[in-house]
Chains A and B, each alone.
Chain A
Amino acid sequence: MTLAAAPGTATLLVELGAILLGLALLGRLAARFGIPSIPLYLLAGLAVGEGGIVELVTARDFIENAAQIGVILLLLLLGLEYTGAELTTALRDHAPAGAIDLVLNFTPGLLVGLILGWDARAALLLGGITYISSSGIIARVLADLGNTGNRETPVVLAILVTEDLVMALYLPLMAGLLIGGSAIDIGFEIGIAIAAVITALVLAIKFGHRVSAIIFHRSDENLLLSLLGVTLLVAGIAEHLQASAAVGAFLVGIALSGPAEHGARTVLAPLRDLFAALFFAFFGLQINPADLPPMLTIAVALAVLTAGTKLATGWWSAKQAGIDRPGRLRAGATLIARGEFSIVIAGIAVAEGIEGDLGPLAAAYVLILAIGGPLLARAADPFGRRFSQRAGTSPPTRLASHQ
């Protein structure tokens, strides 16, 4: 046995080191300007892919595998944020808001896809891309603006929860449609996948605490290996059943509770940060920057349209919850940001190669709304207050509440 590295190893290390360092620098830049890091990671990927400034040669395979683990960890940690009880309560109490959200925001993507003359499956994917808000970016925006305690926030969070659950059914559905075959075959595949997801969801909510007790271990090292092992195993099985690996990981996250959940958050968050950053970069890497400019007009139009529909969704839902006008505006503006899940969906299209224009369009679209969404959310607050003063809706408590 020899310790001498294979000839490619040195290049691989240099390329990987350079890209991680590049991502780190971009992350600092993002923090400096108060924008999310996701769009910058995407740009970094664009710069090192085919047709970019420099093209990665050796590290590409590694990044491709890392990207798949990135999606799984993203969804696992998202699932960890929710308990089964929170999911069922949100669905029960906010089903109308969830339905309005789906209709208003899925339709624009679907229609634009069809107008562009795309295959129906590509149009359905574009619908998913415009539908799903970024829970990651929105959680950050709520915390940064100190809006977590606002009365419209439960409405915003309930809509996000509903979207994540819809995603757990949508991904298997798309996976089934993408395999193709006869209508009966497709229907059968989708039926099995969705039945598996629903069964797993019920089991996760009912028996999650027992599974968690088995997985938990006092040693962080062992906990990390157990968690990662179980998650990758479940994700792999889910993928095999055409239910999508990401959905499998999401369900594992929901099932975990108690000490295993707390431990999982601590030991997995740094791993998620690493692999998810590579996932965003990999999506950019697959796209040739030269393909972006022709898609820009459509991306801007779609972004403006679906910023409007999210605004309407938030406004309507907050109004139903008895929130005043400034709060309705904040709820709507907060929901505009699109990010990680739009990229997850677009990533499927790129991997399957079903519509060449979808990847570049999705990249431009996410770039616009991942940066624009938080800016609009920030602007909504002062704007909403001026708006309400002009409309004369300032509540009379103003006199009573201060001495």
Chain B
Amino acid sequence: MTEISETKLPGVGTLHEFECRSGDRVGVISHHAGRREMVVYDGDDQDRVSESVTMTPDEARLLADLLGGTSVIERLDDLRHDIAGLAIDWLPISRHSPFAGRTIGDTAMRTRTGVSIVAIVRGDHPLPAPGPDETLRANDTAVVVGTADGIDAAAHILAAPGV
């Protein structure tokens, strides 16, 4: 996984940057005011930004989509900021999971832990808002939202054989 570094820019916002395999360094500045600035670092002087593009949040989301990103995760991220105490996690469904090949309804997740499965990521494709009769498959990732304790319990249910 690429290492992303985060720098706080007091009065401006936050800068996230990483180095691509090609050696180019790119970054995104999230301004307090909401707009996004995409920056590319100079090959010769690595402290200097050689190109910068300023985008509205909508344009940034569009670019992320065009680059093959998924907007599900970002929207969930927004949600987390809004509600204190709400946790979100990505739980892998392994081959040994008792629920690989069974439906979401079978897990009775909401009744048992209060946790909701809000999306399933299958390969590169996210399945947002799956219904209770959606089948979980091995190697899926379940995106869950709930309290931190609830998510611990949910991880246990999805991982442990039996129960």
Q: Are A and B interaction partners?
A: yes
Does residue A355 face the partner (Cβ distance < 8 Å to B)? Answer: no
| Nearest CB in chain B to that of A139: its residue | B11
Does residue B43 face the partner (Cβ distance < 8 Å to A)? Answer: yes
Residues of A within 8 A of B88 (CB): none
Residues of A within 8 A of B8 (CB): 86, 89, 154
Interface string of A273-285 (1 = CB under 8 A from B): 0000000000000
A151 to B44, CA, bound (A): 14
Distance in Å: Cβ of A141 to nearest Cβ of chain B: 13
Interface string of A365-402 (1 = CB under 8 A from B): 00000000000000001001100100000110110111
* Pairwise interchain contact B11-A157, C-beta atoms closer than 8 A: yes
Partner of B47, one of A148, A152, A403: A152
Q: How many A-B residue pairs have CB under 8 A?
A: 95
Does residue A324 face the partner (Cβ distance < 8 Å to B)? Answer: yes
Interface residues on chain A, number (Cβ under 8 Å): 40
* Pairwise interchain contact A147-B11, C-beta atoms closer than 8 A: no
| Nearest CB in chain B to that of A156: its residue | B9
| Nearest CB in chain B to that of A261: its residue | B32
* Pairwise interchain contact A401-B49, C-beta atoms closer than 8 A: no
Interface string of A332-358 (1 = CB under 8 A from B): 000000000000000000000000000
A148 to B12, CA, bound (A): 8
* Pairwise interchain contact B10-A395, C-beta atoms closer than 8 A: no
Partner of B10, one of A82, A149, A402: A82
| Nearest CB in chain B to that of A322: its residue | B47
* Pairwise interchain contact B11-A398, C-beta atoms closer than 8 A: no
Distance in Å: Cβ of B30 to nearest Cβ of chain A: 11
Interface class of chain A by DSSP: helix
Query: A82-B11, A157-B12, A161-B11 known; A401 and B52 CB under 8 Å?
Result: no
Partner of B45, one of A87, A148, A153, A324: A324
Does residue B24 face the partner (Cβ distance < 8 Å to A)? Answer: yes
Query: A154-B7, A161-B10, A401-B23 known; A149 and B15 CB under 8 Å?
Result: yes
Does residue B46 face the partner (Cβ distance < 8 Å to A)? Answer: yes
* Pairwise interchain contact A400-B52, C-beta atoms closer than 8 A: no
* Pairwise interchain contact B46-A154, C-beta atoms closer than 8 A: no
| Nearest CB in chain A to that of B13: its residue | A148
Residues of A within 8 A of B11 (CB): 81-82, 86, 135, 139, 157, 160-161
A394 to B48, CA, bound (A): 13
Residues of A within 8 A of B52 (CB): 146, 148-149
Most buried by B among A86, A135, A142, A265: A86
Does residue B37 face the partner (Cβ distance < 8 Å to A)? Answer: yes
Q: Known A-B contacts: A146-B52, A151-B48, A397-B23. Give 10 more (CB < 8 A).
A: A89-B8, A89-B10, A135-B11, A142-B12, A149-B15, A149-B39, A326-B47, A385-B44, A397-B43, A401-B23
The 13 listed contacts between A and B (C-beta, < 8 Å) are A86-B8, A139-B12, A148-B37, A149-B27, A149-B29, A150-B48, A154-B7, A160-B10, A161-B11, A265-B33, A327-B47, A394-B44, A397-B23
